[in-house]
Amino acid sequence: HGPYQPHEPGYGLDQPGYSPYEDEIPDPQARMLAIKNAKACLLKTSTKSGLNLYDHLANILTKILDEQPTNTVDIIENISKDVKWAQFRKKLDTLRDEHLIPPTFEAAEKYKALFIKEGGEEEHEELDEEMPSLPNVMETAFYFEQAGIGLSKDESYYILLALKNLINVQPIQTCRFWGKILGLEMNYIIAEVELREGEEEEEETGEEGEETVAEEQKEMGEGEEEEEQKEKEPEPPKSTYKPPPEIPKEANGTGTNKYVYFVCNEPGKPWVKLPPVTPAQIVCARQIKKFFTGRLDAPVVSFPPFPGNEANYLRAQIARISAGTHVSPTGFYQFPEDEEEEEGADTYEENPEFEPLPVAEMVESLATWTHHVKGILKQGRCVWINPQKSEENDEDDEEEEEEEEEQQQEERGQPLLTLISEDEGMKDIPAWTAQASTNLIPEYSVAILQSNRWPGAYAFASGRKFENIYFGWGHKYNPEGHTPALPPPAEAEFPSEPGITEAVDPTVEEEIAFKAAQEEALAEAEEEEEEEGDDD
């Protein structure tokens, strides 16, 4: 290289009289100048990456000293690359940085529609007089919170606003927050409502009209197809099998369809009305166990096949949970004095002379709670019906005797306002568990009732106030685990008889001999005919 020049970083280190092994430096100023020149060279910024060698070497040494890898000299190149990648910055192709929406802002936009009032204040004041009373979801959440049950305060308030919007849109007479059913993709928030009297009749007539139109169109199409088949081909043999009669669903406002249910995935999203439930859907829902997806139009793939989509399955589970878990303090409801108690009666009224029981007594004895929703029979209805009565058919005396036998097998469930102490348990597990919300301050505790048959169903009672709610997956507890139903056994083969037994195919030689025998027989027959003609 030769001697260093004054402008080079190493200038002064090769001066005569200097040795790196000597403690004293002849000229300290020259050495400091050389060090400054060397550092200035290392601090030169690259025109490509914007980095300098001094900081890069410092970061490499820091990384090596922190991690202390083995064989550092062999992986120094990789360490250098890792340090460069760690300092990578996204290139901005615009003058402004990209705007990142914080999650709090997204949540606020989602629930923004719940806080917007439509119309003027005067109009709302007039509507409030005619509107039904809004359920106090916050008060219910407060009581359940004493036992650690329920949703967050924010979500409870959003549900309250969503129920208020539902009342403003739909012709509702009574409204109640039923609960929340969890799903794999989305959840269901459920509102239990009772429509006004005129609206239920209009819905029934509309549904019946649609069914009759669909049946007429189906019959017309079948008639046209039958005529076309008659013209083209002869009629095949008709089957004599008669399917079992379809059990009709209960009318709106009675039994399993006493209430109407609206659901939404989140507060602020539109409410969707669930269709009425049919006995066939309830019977099938008892035999399957499916998780909800959160999409009402999702198909329910199961065996036995479910007659409907997820909206129908959700409605069937709501009916089953309501029939088994909706309870109230004993004596809070009573049957009307004018009407006598009937088997199919599901009407009751509030008892004005009801005196609330102390919490300690409601926790100790299950006889202080009653069912105020009728149970569902095996038939899938709350009130048993003979489906053969509705069919018009002329049958023999034997069939009439069979009908009488079936009529004797009428199902009878527990009457309304039955004590929950009569509910059957599951092996060693009782059907219900009652406890106080706190044992430290018993005078301010609340009685909490939990269903073990339907995990997630709760009820509370405090004085004259009580409420039922459900938070869960919508599945019934089974101590033995769910066992899917097996497919039916394969049908037996048709009985083999000598007249219908399949014969073995003949060989070629046998076919030739058979044809020759037929020809000989024909020839003999012709000769006999000719001889008879000659004799005549």
- Are residue 157 and residue 296 in the same domain, yes or no? yes
Task: Report whether pLDDT(109) > 90.
Answer: no
- Are residue 256 and residue 362 in the same domain, yes or no? no
- Do the Cβ atoms of 143 and 460 come closer than 8 Å? yes
Paired residues of 450 in beta bridges: 433, 458
- Are residue 361 and residue 416 in the same domain, yes or no? yes
- Are residue 189 and residue 287 in the same domain, yes or no? yes
- Are residue 265 and residue 348 in the same domain, yes or no? no
More confident residue, 461 or 206: 461
Task: Report whether pLDDT(232) > 90.
Answer: no
Q: Is residue 78 part of a domain?
A: no
- Are residue 315 and residue 334 in the same domain, yes or no? no
- Are residue 359 and residue 253 in the same domain, yes or no? no
Q: Is residue 228 part of a domain?
A: no
Among 75-79, 225-229, 401-405, the range scoring the smallest mean pLDDT is 401-405
DSSP secondary structure string for all residues of 271-330? PEEPPPP-HHHHHHHTT------S-TT-B---SSPPSSBHHHHHHHHHHHHHHHH-EEET
229: CB partners within 8 A, 6+ apart: 235
Q: Is residue 406 part of a domain?
A: no
Q: Is residue 230 part of a domain?
A: no
pLDDT value, residue 26: 58
Amino acid 37 reads N
- Are residue 259 and residue 287 in the same domain, yes or no? yes
What's the rounded Cα separation, in Å, for the pair 260 and 172? 10
Residue percentage of the chain with pLDDT more than 70: 77
- Are residue 415 and residue 369 in the same domain, yes or no? yes
- Confidence label for 123 from pLDDT (cuts 50, 70 and 90): very low
Q: Is residue 354 part of a domain?
A: yes
- Confidence label for 125 from pLDDT (cuts 50, 70 and 90): very low
pLDDT in tens, 241-299: 888 888 999 999 899 999 999 999 999 899 999 999 999 999 999 999 999 999 999 99
Structural domains of the chain, count? 2
Instruction: Mark which of 282, 304, 321 sits at the end of a domain.
Output: 321
DSSP secondary structure string for all residues of 364-378? H-GGGEEE-SPPPPT
Give the range of the structural domain holding residue 309, as residue numbers without chain letter: 137-199+245-321
- Confidence label for 230 from pLDDT (cuts 50, 70 and 90): low
For 349, phi then psi, to 5°, come to -140, 165
- Are residue 362 and residue 261 in the same domain, yes or no? no
- Are residue 363 and residue 259 in the same domain, yes or no? no
- Are residue 380 and residue 271 in the same domain, yes or no? no
Q: Is residue 148 part of a domain?
A: yes
- Confidence label for 183 from pLDDT (cuts 50, 70 and 90): very high
Paired residues of 457 in beta bridges: 470
pLDDT value, residue 127: 47
Q: Is residue 288 part of a domain?
A: yes
Instruction: Mark which of 423, 455, 472 sits at the end of a domain.
Output: 472
Q: Is residue 214 part of a domain?
A: no
pLDDT value, residue 121: 43
pLDDT in tens, 399-449: 554 554 455 477 888 888 999 999 998 888 999 999 999 999 989 999 999
What's the rounded Cα separation, in Å, for the pair 444 and 308? 47
